[in-house]
Amino acid sequence: RKLPIVIGAFEAQSIAIALEKEIRPPRPLTHDLFKNFADRFDIVVKQVIIHKLVDGVFYSSLICERDKIEEIIDARTSDAIALALRFNAPIFTYKNILDKAGIYLKVNPKSEDEASGDSVLIDDIVAEKIETQGQENYKSKSIEELHNLLDEAVANEDYEKAAKIRDEISKR
């Protein structure tokens, strides 16, 4: 399945440039500047999570790390994708979001792009990596970690996730 996301022209250009490794703009684009800045200060974008869909708008977070400390930063999904490409970071979403907005595409194995194996279709930007947050994933977490995850889920208005975490806390 693919997750179709509407993005602006600037972000589309930035994503296309990131996909086409040989193209180097004469001056850094905003996302390149962010990458250069992050590199200078040893900040890494570890992953992107598309965590919410409201009225056709996707909400995303960058999971960043510096000195083994993780931070979650709210980001527009188009910016998050552009940065994930520059950091070679995986992009995750939840099954319920794919169920709501995902589409199936028929792949023509005889197409020239597929045959070469070198090109990346724009549809492949958002990888079908699904992070499932079942209760079994929470069993190894400490109570403190669970409370932090619960606060984060509520702040992100991810009430399904919050309910699962609450249930795990209640079991203890």
- Give the distance between the most distant pair of CA atoms in the chain: 57
Question: pLDDT-derived band of residue 169, with 50, 70 and 90 as boundaries?
Answer: confident
Does the pLDDT at position 156 exceed 60?
Answer: yes
User: Tell me, what's the pLDDT at 21?
Assistant: 77
Two tokens, residue 72:
């979650």
| Mean pLDDT on 17-37 | 88
Count of other CB atoms within 10 angstroms of residue 119? 13
- Assign a CATH topology to domain 9-132: Bifunctional nuclease domain (3.10.690)
Question: pLDDT-derived band of residue 152, with 50, 70 and 90 as boundaries?
Answer: confident
Question: pLDDT-derived band of residue 133, with 50, 70 and 90 as boundaries?
Answer: very low
| Mean pLDDT on 139-152 | 86
Does the pLDDT at position 88 exceed 90?
Answer: yes
Q: Are 113 and 65 in contact (CB under 8 A)?
A: no
| Mean pLDDT on 148-162 | 78
Count of other CB atoms within 10 angstroms of residue 163? 13
Predicted structure pTM score: 0.61
**Mind spelling out the 3-state secondary structure of 85-150?**
HHHCCCEEECHHHHHHHCECCCCCCCCHHHHHCCCCCHHHCCCCEECCCCHHHCCCCCHHHHHHHH
Higher pLDDT, 156 or 66: 66
| Mean pLDDT on 92-100 | 92
Higher pLDDT, 82 or 111: 82
Count of other CB atoms within 10 angstroms of residue 50? 23
Q: Strand, coil or helix: what is 20?
A: coil
Cα(42)–Cα(129) distance, integer angstroms: 26
Domain ranges of the chain: 9-132, 133-172
